[in-house]
Amino acid sequence: MSVVTRKLIAKELYVNRWFIFGGALSGVISVLIAATGKMGFNVGSLTWLTTIIATGVMLGLYGIMNERKEHALQFVLSLPLSIADYVRAKMLGLTACFLVMWLVSSTAALLLVFAKDGVPDGIAPYTILLCVFMLANFIVVLCGSIHAQSEAITSAVIIVTNMAVSIFMFTVAPLPGIGKFMWGPAPVWNSTFWTVLGCELAVLVIAFTLPFLLAARRRDFV
Amino acid sequence: MLCIHSMYSGINISQTDARPMYLQIMEQIRARIAARDWPPGKELPSIRALAAGLNVSVITIKRAYLDLESEGVIVTRHGKGSFVAEVNGLAGELKQEQLAEHLARAAEIGRVLGLTEDELTARLRAALKHLDKK
Amino acid sequence: MNDKHIEMRGVRKVYRFFTLDDVSLALEPGQIMGFVGPNGAGKSTTLRLLMGMVAADAGEIRVLGHEIPKAQAAAKRDIGFVSAEMRLLPHTTLGWHMEFMKSIYPQWDGGYAATLVKRFNLRPEQNARSLSLGEHVKATLLLALARRPRLLILDEPTTGLDPVARHEVISEFMDVLRDENRSILFSSHNTVDVERISDTITFIDRGRIVASDEKEKFLDRWRRIQVQLPPGVTLPALPNIVKHEVDGQFLTLTTNEYSEGLRNLMGPHVTHVHRMNLEEIFVANVMFHREARTQ
């Protein structure tokens, strides 16, 4: 990795520092709220979801489009790098930003599941699937953003992926392998779990690699 | 008060002046040489240094120096720089000889045409004016 | 050894409503080239092509010996690019940018950068958001100049600058040229500045290069000649007349190849011969070429 790419990744983390910090903090607070009881659990889980989605949108949309709109793109492109280097730095940088916030929020959620007696450990597989889904979701948004030539397309991608969260929850939770064991005392790692996880990871990998194959090959960037 | 002393702080190139920039430069350099502010043998600023000092293109300074050299006012030594020509220097001498010859010829022709001294002087003035117009 | 800093040959770029066609350009080290053209002529596109930000559909581009866009990362190590559209990264300060550049470019001159901060009347703690257009331009110029790059490619670098700032900036450009191994290509509407500091000038209009030559040659060859013809007198056929304006007895002829010979052909009827400034040459040149194209 060249010096420029490394510096740009560091710059991404710096420029988005408030989103990362704010997102992580909200995630932790949401988990704390979820620990306060049944009502708290509902409220907390909702805000936890919203926080992760919102941070993902801000990073995915703002991180890419605003650089274009605010003409900072030309500044970055005037650095000693190729278009492929730029795409690489953007993907790695923004993913790193999201990962920091996501790791904090996911760890907090899992801690709640295993540490708190009021929350059944059986919900752990579903929680993990949900977390990985959010990560995959973000990568898809990022992939869409970096290829999109207009704000309209990017917004469409974001709307679709947000709907996907709801769809995920309505389809995965009732799955026989998941729903039956969700409120049980112990986590069940069955084939349903692994299959869903496998699909999520596949989508994640595809969405992450696509920009390196497509956008990086683009010859016109402004 | 802002007082600047440098070799070319007094040289001013005006873009609103009708005369081209290279001529303005030549004139101001000639004036300094004539006034002995830039005495014979003194090294002129390098072309690039003068260009940067005056905020005028290198090509314009080059042209001014080339023309001054063909007039014998300055001498350029390859690789060493440009210098104010020695008054009794070879380049200056040749030019003086040329002038003497031309004036002698002009006087002869004037006589043949029957021009008076005033008429001949007027013709010389007109020729100078024509040169300035170019 | 003739290692040109910029070589463009027959470059073509097609957009939906605009085509850049057969663009050829050469910049020698130690030179400043002024790039002049009306809005929409293709100046910015040309400069973006040089920086590898867009790729040509045909033709060759070499900058500092590197093939563009293939080797653009290597070329850009020694190119400073500033465009009036450029902005600093959001949520950061000028000081952060200076540190950023220092960490990427080994040739960064911190002392010179500090001098420029003062000279351009900027403050390192300023947030990118709070900068005016002129301050963005000065800031990006500072970031480019302090690296002491071999080649500077500048798109309207005096946009939004007050006369004092413009003067400071022009002085810095001329300082760059103290080194005969460095060069500058800049596009500008400010024909006064272009006329003053350019060694060569390239005119572009509607996606095509109209003319490219040494500045002094343009200034030497273009003239506006005023002629007064008494009734019944006509002029012989004259070569190289780009424009004919007739007002009764009074004629104004614009030529792009002035010579004593041409003047003599007009005989005693010439009343005035005016030199033309770059703006007048530019307009006359473009108008002439537009007419020629439509025929």
Looking at residue C78, its pLDDT comes to: 96
How many angstroms separate the CA atoms of A67 and C242, rounded? 47
For residue C1, what pLDDT band results from cuts at 50, 70 and 90?
very low
Q: Which residues of C touch B60 (CB under 8 A)?
A: 215-216
C-alpha separations of C165 from B98, C95, C115, C146, C170 in Å: 50, 20, 14, 17, 9
Please count the residues of chain C.
295
The average pLDDT across B36-63 equals: 93
Structure tokens at C57: 């559909």
Q: State whether residue C269 sits within 8 Å of chain A by CB.
A: no
Alpha-carbon gap: B61 to the closest alpha carbon of chain C (Å): 10
Q: Which residues of C touch A93 (CB under 8 A)?
A: none
Q: Is A42 helix (H, G, I), strand (E, B) or coil?
A: helix
Are A81 and C83 in contact (CB < 8 Å)?
A: no
Alpha-carbon gap: B88 to the closest alpha carbon of chain C (Å): 33
Neighboring chains of B (3 or more beta-carbon pairs < 8 A): C
Domain count, chain A: 1
Are A74 and C86 in contact (CB < 8 Å)?
A: yes
Looking at residue B85, its pLDDT comes to: 87
Asked whether residue B87 carries a pLDDT value surpassing 80, the answer given is: no
**Chain-centroid distance, C-alpha B119:** 27
Domain that holds residue A89: 3-217
Looking at residue C231, its pLDDT comes to: 87
- The pLDDT mean for chain B works out to 86
Q: Which residues of B touch C192 (CB under 8 A)?
A: 15
What's the pLDDT tens digit per position in A95-123? 999 999 999 999 999 998 888 777 888 88
What's the pLDDT tens digit per position in C49-94? 999 999 999 999 999 999 999 999 999 999 999 999 899 988 899 9
Are A15 and C72 in contact (CB < 8 Å)?
A: no
For residue B88, what pLDDT band results from cuts at 50, 70 and 90?
low
Backbone angles phi, psi at B88, to 5 degrees: -100, 20
Answer whether C188's CB lies under 8 Å from C160's CB.
Answer: no
C-alpha separations of A182 from A27, A38, A49, A113, B133 in Å: 22, 16, 18, 11, 98
Q: Is C9 helix (H, G, I), strand (E, B) or coil?
A: strand
Looking at residue A26, its pLDDT comes to: 94
Asked whether residue B98 carries a pLDDT value surpassing 80, the answer given is: no
How many angstroms separate the CA atoms of C275 and C284, rounded? 13
Neighboring chains of A (3 or more beta-carbon pairs < 8 A): C
Among A38-47, C136-145, C243-252, the range with the most confident prediction by mean pLDDT is C136-145
Looking at residue C11, its pLDDT comes to: 96
How many angstroms separate the CA atoms of C290 and C284, rounded? 10
How many angstroms separate the CA atoms of A137 and A149, rounded? 20
Domain B2-84 has CATH 3.40.1160.10: no
Nearest to A99 by CA among A143, A62, A50, A132: A132
> How many Cβ pairs closer than 8 A exist between chain B and C?
51
How many angstroms separate the CA atoms of C222 and B20, rounded? 13
Query: Which ranges of A2-150 would DSSP assign to H, the alpha helix?
Result: 3-15, 17-34, 38-57, 67-69, 72-77, 83-115, 124-147
Residues 6+ apart with CB under 8 A from A78: C51, C76, C79, C80, C81, C86
* H-helix or E-strand spanning residue C80: strand C79-83
Q: Report chain A's terminal Cα–Cα distance, integer Å.
A: 24
Pick from C167, C177, C219: CB nearest B58? C177
How many angstroms separate the CA atoms of B18 and C277, rounded? 9
Pick from B49, B55, B57: CB nearest C199? B57
Amino acid at C291: E
Q: Is C243 helix (H, G, I), strand (E, B) or coil?
A: strand
CATH fold for the domain made of C6-216: Rossmann fold (3.40.50)
Asked whether residue C47 carries a pLDDT value surpassing 90, the answer given is: yes
For chain C, give every domain's residue range.
6-216, 219-294
Pick from C55, C72, C104: CB nearest A4? C104
Alpha-carbon gap: C196 to the closest alpha carbon of chain A (Å): 28
Structural domain includes residue A222 = no
The average pLDDT across B47-57 equals: 95
Q: Which residues of C touch B56 (CB under 8 A)?
A: 174, 196-197
For residue B3, what pLDDT band results from cuts at 50, 70 and 90?
low
| Interface ipTM | 0.89
For C85, which residue in chain A has the nearest alpha carbon?
A71
What's the pLDDT tens digit per position in B10-43? 888 988 888 999 999 999 999 888 888 888 889 9
pLDDT, mean of each 10-residue run, chain A (222 residues): 89 91 94 88 89 88 76 90 91 95 94 83 88 92 84 80 84 83 83 91 94 87 74
Chain B residues whose C-beta is within 8 A of a chain C C-beta are 13, 15, 18, 20-22, 48-49, 51-52, 55-60, 63, 133
Chain A residues whose C-beta is within 8 A of a chain C C-beta are 2-4, 7, 11, 14-18, 66-67, 70-72, 74-83, 85, 219-222
Looking at residue B92, its pLDDT comes to: 61
Looking at residue C63, its pLDDT comes to: 97
Structure-token match 């272009």, residue found? C194
- The pLDDT mean for chain C works out to 93
The average pLDDT across C197-209 equals: 96
How many angstroms separate the CA atoms of C91 and C68, rounded? 32
